[in-house]
Amino acid sequence: MIRPGNRLLAPGLPVLAGLALLATAGAKPTAAQQRADFLLGAPKVALTIKAGFAQPRAGSGGDTESLWDFTRNRLTVDTRDLSGTTIAGEIAVRTTERLDLTFSLGYSLSATRSEFRDWVDQDDLPIEQTTEFSTIPLTVGVKAYLRDRGRSLGRFAYIPSTWNPYVGVAGGLVWYRFEQYGDFVDYETLDIFRSTLLSSGRGATVHLLGGMDVSLNKHVMLVTEGRYALASAPLDSDFVGFPDLDLAGFQVTVGLSLRY
């Protein structure tokens, strides 16, 4: 019970032509050749910022009513109403041509307004409240690319591929904050009271992910990704008698990545 309270990469022909001209004639590079889309070696690090849509799973407690069950059953809240926005930053370090080690920090937030389904106040007005739910996952993981991310041209030039799909897994910690504020019903006295009910904490998390990098130029990529997070954590004393809060959910994001 509740206690009150994404320009694609230019083909490699201009690069080949430019290098052939330099090798045979020793000519000074033209301005067009200087703008060729190749890198001096394979990139080592990528920095990514992405944002998008987050949907909590808000799992049921099964035989024991979960806090999510309570919220759906008594308030005018459906699971889809709990969707919100997410933003994340990531550092990826290339370890092999197809494998990256990643470090990621994210933030997701939803705010859902509701009212009691079966109760109104003495003036037949709705009893209203707001549910806010946020998570901050900090993870370390690996991304495995399904094709080579580029090719070497001679000793120094590296031409990135136009697109590269990947899959990955990550693990770490997630911090959460669950807050409900507004008017509530005391089921013992049937009194209506105003309160803020809050729980925060942390738990272990595992993320399964997949996405694609699309080159815009030699340094910038468009990144699209979907990831599913698994996690749960205990509730604070404002919510008594509920099992651990389900923190699992799905995210879809789009962003930009700089590679060096």
Question: Count of domains in the chain?
Answer: 1
Is 193 a domain residue? Answer: yes
Task: Tokens for 103, please give them.
Answer: 């470090």
Residue 163 CB contacts under 8 Å (≥ 6 apart), including other chains = 212, 213, 214, 215
Question: What is the per-residue pLDDT for 210?
Answer: 98
CA distance 121 to 242: 27
Is 27 a domain residue? Answer: no
CA distance 186 to 70: 14
Question: What is the per-residue pLDDT for 34?
Answer: 38
pLDDT tens digit string along 117-149? 999 998 899 999 999 999 999 999 999 999 988
Cβ pair 25, 163 in contact under 8 A: no
Residue 155 CB contacts under 8 Å (≥ 6 apart), including other chains = none
Question: What is the per-residue pLDDT for 158?
Answer: 75
- Residue with the bigger pLDDT between 153 and 17: it is 153
Is 243 a domain residue? Answer: yes
Looking up residue 102, the CATH number of its domain turns out to be 2.40.160.20
Least confident stretch, 32-46, 158-172, 241-255: 32-46
Is 26 a domain residue? Answer: no
Is 148 a domain residue? Answer: yes
User: What residue has token string 């041209």?
Assistant: 153
Is 104 a domain residue? Answer: yes
Question: What is the per-residue pLDDT for 161?
Answer: 86
Residue 170 Rama label (left phi>0; alpha psi -120 to 50; beta): beta
- Residue with the bigger pLDDT between 39 and 220: it is 220
User: What residue has token string 């944002």?
Assistant: 51
User: What residue has token string 């705010």?
Assistant: 111
pLDDT-derived band at 67 (thresholds 50, 70, 90) equals: very high
Is 30 a domain residue? Answer: no
- Its domain, for residue 229, covers 42-259
The structure's pTM equals 0.82
Opening angle at CA 174, ends 6 and 213, nearest 5? 20
Is 81 a domain residue? Answer: yes
Establish how many alpha carbons lie within 13 A of residue 207's alpha carbon, considering only the half-sphere containing its beta carbon. Answer: 28
CA distance 147 to 161: 9
